[in-house]
Amino acid sequence: MQLQDLETPALILDRSRMLRNINALRLRMAASGVQLRPHLKTAKSVEVARLMMDSAAGPATVSTLKEADEFAAAGVTDLLYAVGIVPNKFAHLARLVRAGVRLTVVLDNVAAATALREFAEREQIKLYVLAEIDSDGHRSGLRCDDAELLKVARAVQPEPSKPGHCELAGVMTHAGASYGAYSTEAKVAMAEQERLAAVAAVHRLRAAGYAAPVVSVGSTPTAHFAQSLQGVTEVRAGVYVFFDLVMAGLNVCAVEDIAMSVAATVIGHQREKGWIIVDAGWMAMSRDRGTAKQPVDQGYGLVCDALGKPFADLIMTEANQEHGILALRQGSIRPLPDLPVGTLVRILPNHACATGAQHDRYEVVDSDTEIAAQWPRFRGW
Amino acid sequence: MQLQDLETPALILDRSRMLRNINALRLRMAASGVQLRPHLKTAKSVEVARLMMDSAAGPATVSTLKEADEFAAAGVTDLLYAVGIVPNKFAHLARLVRAGVRLTVVLDNVAAATALREFAEREQIKLYVLAEIDSDGHRSGLRCDDAELLKVARAVQPEPSKPGHCELAGVMTHAGASYGAYSTEAKVAMAEQERLAAVAAVHRLRAAGYAAPVVSVGSTPTAHFAQSLQGVTEVRAGVYVFFDLVMAGLNVCAVEDIAMSVAATVIGHQREKGWIIVDAGWMAMSRDRGTAKQPVDQGYGLVCDALGKPFADLIMTEANQEHGILALRQGSIRPLPDLPVGTLVRILPNHACATGAQHDRYEVVDSDTEIAAQWPRFRGW
């Protein structure tokens, strides 16, 4: 089957590009001697996860307990759930642990820590906890010098030398602000800031008597640009597997590295306006406009031919639910390509996590137009 | 089961509000004597569709052939697929017709019309076609006075008085620009503009000898504000079933009419910043920022208590994949509500179609906190 035989819209995965992306970060991590704990939230696919992980059992990171369920069912036994835990998810944690998962969770407050420890003791299940550290002010977590850190540690594990059912395993941080770092210097600096915050926090825990063996950091930009990982024990990254226009705009990858695209078909034109209309709108692309605040705004995506080669300056400028409007980027002096009704195009996404989430499977190609496999995706919570 | 027992995030449907919304448009349409052909793309739910449609067999409108499949399997036999048809979907059309669906499609160009007619003749299936008319310059369609209109008509059905397998059934238009109409006068004017374009186009077809019995118009704002439907035979609308913050911002509904919300749980705070962090981010809310260009920007959604009552000025100001940041609207002088870790909140969406699409089921309540039913949603193409 060929791409041209697809009913559009459809999600395309260029396996050759993906394997190159996976290999690049794997080599970098191997050289550093630090464990990679890939984040599986971008792909939400067992087939892709197996290519990202060091072994079929993990380790890996997830953003939902649904991901944990799916990957556990596929044999992954070492999982970090990287969103602050709250009581309505405790019963779900217990099911995962009883199914054989070594589960690590994160939290940043005494209330959650106390409730979790009481639950683990009552249910007699083992849970590993990382204190979430805020290294850049962008989201959750405690500052590395916050007095609450030791209170949270004690709420998780009252006796530093005696891990109970709830064990304080260390610290985690995520430098989400790295998504604003355009230069190499800025990304290197952000990685160092992320590392220093995590290391400073874990030193406080160790000084208080906790073993706290885990120092978990990461984002795709910092994973690719960190110059030192001293004191770090694991790195998390997710979107590196496919990359996207936001990452290309941040100079973390080239446009030619982007392994995900949406196949769409030309359904009409408004010629006097310079519009080409396609059958992929925000339902297929997502509403993500992550490049809107970057130097080059890619609209809802950059348009390529069936082989994945970009048409110069042609982007999706507007999106309705199932309609996309393709037009030349503002200020472009290029001619509008001649794309008759029925032409297949491929549109590179702003944000692979968001675009992937709109689809239930990947049509897998190897940098050509033949569909080599279909891989399912899952979603939900 | 109560809302407080849910694992969050989760999609909540307030059935009482929805029934009120359905009834309001039904009464309006009944008074006008014009057929309502509800658009099922917002709900993507058989249970909701049955409440919206005049009969279990329809009529109804869909935005994907997957919706057509699902509703056909549930007994709906009169469907309009309202996105310009292209050849990669022809085989799918044939399956639907052979499954007993009276299927109407839309198109605006000779290439698609010719290919469709040839396909219908070759496959010996009956297809109804509406010429898509552009009434406001926002998307697809031919202007009502475009010379192409009669060429398209002839490509669909060469002999005006002899419908073949492919029958020119009339015209359709969608005044998407009504989403920029804030005043009553502007919405009334947009509805009249939509009506006049469709009626003018169909008159040209009828003057050329076509029966063209169908004049299909609609959007939620114009359906609710049209003062005349003279010459119109059916009205399409979708988001009226749930409404959302974009519709409230357009003064089409009140915030208290919004029947969809996302349940989320407080997972932490950044107190010095005035941030409350919840476990619902853009994956649960969608990336839709439809109120960003309205007079009142609601961020990623307006925050309510467990009963659905808004906290004054509290919105989701930022969203990561599974994290949302709640904060007071810029310029607000209200105090930040005290919402401890573990508190359940409900967040009203900017755009019900986009937020609904992120979820696989509705937790149904009747303006209280008891979950009365779970209704599945579907998606994809």
Phi, psi (deg, nearest 5) at residue B277: -100, 135
B331 and chain A in contact, CB less than 8 A? no
Q: Nearest Cβ partner of A88 from B6, B289, B323?
A: B6
Rounded CA separation B17/A326 (Å): 38
Sign of the CA dihedral running A254, A301, B354, B251 = positive
What's residue A325's pLDDT? 98
What's residue A48's pLDDT? 98
Chain A residues lying within 8 Å of B282, measured CB to CB: 288, 354
Contact B270 A134 (CB under 8 A): yes
Rounded CA separation B367/B146 (Å): 50
Structure tokens at B350: 């900017």
Helices A90-98 and A110-123, interaxial angle, to 10°?
A: 40
Contact A289 B287 (CB under 8 A): yes
Distances (CA, A) of A139 to A16, A27, A52, A142, B277: 35, 30, 26, 10, 8
Whether the CB-CB separation of B57 and B77 falls below 8 Å is answered with yes
Å from A31 to nearest chain B CA? Answer: 30
Chain B residues lying within 8 Å of A4, measured CB to CB: 88
Average confidence (pLDDT) over B283-312 = 97
The alpha carbons of chain A give a radius of gyration, in whole angstroms, of: 22
Contact A65 B7 (CB under 8 A): yes
Rounded CA separation A42/A39 (Å): 7
B86 and chain A in contact, CB less than 8 A? yes
List residues bridging with B252 in a β-sheet.
none
What's residue A338's pLDDT? 97
Nearest CA in chain B to A176: B320
| Residue type at B330 in one-letter notation | Q
Rounded CA separation A42/A220 (Å): 11
Contact A325 B139 (CB under 8 A): yes
A341 and chain B in contact, CB less than 8 A? yes
Q: Distance of alpha carbon A289 from its chain centroid, rounded?
A: 16
Nearest CA to A152 out of A115, A200, A197 is that of A115
Distances (CA, A) of A194 to A59, A180, B28, B199, B282: 21, 14, 59, 63, 24
Phi, psi (deg, nearest 5) at residue A45: -145, 130
Whether the CB-CB separation of B349 and B245 falls below 8 Å is answered with yes
Q: Nearest Cβ partner of B380 from A85, A323, A360?
A: A360
Chain A residues lying within 8 Å of B267, measured CB to CB: 83-86, 112, 140
Contact B111 A323 (CB under 8 A): no
Contact A140 B323 (CB under 8 A): yes
Å from B164 to nearest chain A CA? Answer: 23
Task: Supply the DSSP symbol for B2.
Answer: B
SS3 A246: helix
- Residue B134: pLDDT band with limits 50, 70, 90: very high
Whether the CB-CB separation of A257 and A58 falls below 8 Å is answered with no
What's residue A313's pLDDT? 97
Å from A380 to nearest chain B CA? Answer: 6
Q: Nearest Cβ partner of B342 from A63, A86, A323?
A: A86
A340 and chain B in contact, CB less than 8 A? yes
What's residue A210's pLDDT? 98
Q: What is the tens place of the pLDDT at every residue in B158-187? A: 999 999 999 999 999 999 888 999 999 999
Average confidence (pLDDT) over B56-67 = 98
Whether the CB-CB separation of A21 and A366 falls below 8 Å is answered with no
| Residue type at A156 in one-letter notation | V
Q: Nearest Cβ partner of A277 from B140, B266, B354?
A: B140
Contact A321 B89 (CB under 8 A): no
Which one of B267, B282, B345, B377 makes the best mutation probe of the A interface by having the most chain A beta carbons within 10 Å? Answer: B267
B379 and chain A in contact, CB less than 8 A? yes
Query: Does the pTM of the predicted model rise above 0.90?
Result: yes
Chain A residues lying within 8 Å of B265, measured CB to CB: 86, 88
Average pLDDT, rounded, for chain B: 97
Structure tokens at B326: 């709640």
B283 and chain A in contact, CB less than 8 A? yes
Structure tokens at A137: 């002010």
Cis amide linkage into residue B59, ω under 30° from 0: yes
Complex confidence, ipTM: 0.97
Contact A267 B360 (CB under 8 A): no
B123 and chain A in contact, CB less than 8 A? no
β-pair type (B324-328, B310-319): antiparallel
Range B62-66 contact pairs with CB under 8 angstroms and sequence separation of 24 or more: B63/A283, B63/A321, B63/A322, B63/B39, B64/A283, B64/A322, B64/B380, B64/B381, B65/A7, B65/B89, B65/B92, B65/B93, B65/B96, B65/B381, B66/B378, B66/B379, B66/B380, B66/B381
A77 and chain B in contact, CB less than 8 A? no
A251 and chain B in contact, CB less than 8 A? no
Rounded CA separation A224/A227 (Å): 9
Nearest CA in chain A to B64: A322
B99 and chain A in contact, CB less than 8 A? no
- Spatial neighbors of B149 by CB under 8 A, at least 6 apart, are B131, B133, B142, B201, B204, B205
Rounded CA separation B275/B297 (Å): 18
Nearest CA to B362 out of B352, B350, B377 is that of B377
**Which residue positions in chain A have pLDDT lower than 70?**
none
Q: How many CB atoms lie within 10 A of CB A19?
A: 14
Contact B340 A111 (CB under 8 A): yes
Whether the CB-CB separation of A300 and A315 falls below 8 Å is answered with yes
SS3 B203: helix
Å from B353 to nearest chain A CA? Answer: 8
Element (H, E) at A157: none
- Spatial neighbors of A147 by CB under 8 A, at least 6 apart, are none
Whether the CB-CB separation of A80 and A64 falls below 8 Å is answered with no
Q: Nearest Cβ partner of A287 from B88, B92, B286?
A: B286
Nearest CA in chain A to B322: A63
| Residue type at B252 in one-letter notation | V
B359 and chain A in contact, CB less than 8 A? yes
Q: How many residues are present in chain A?
A: 381
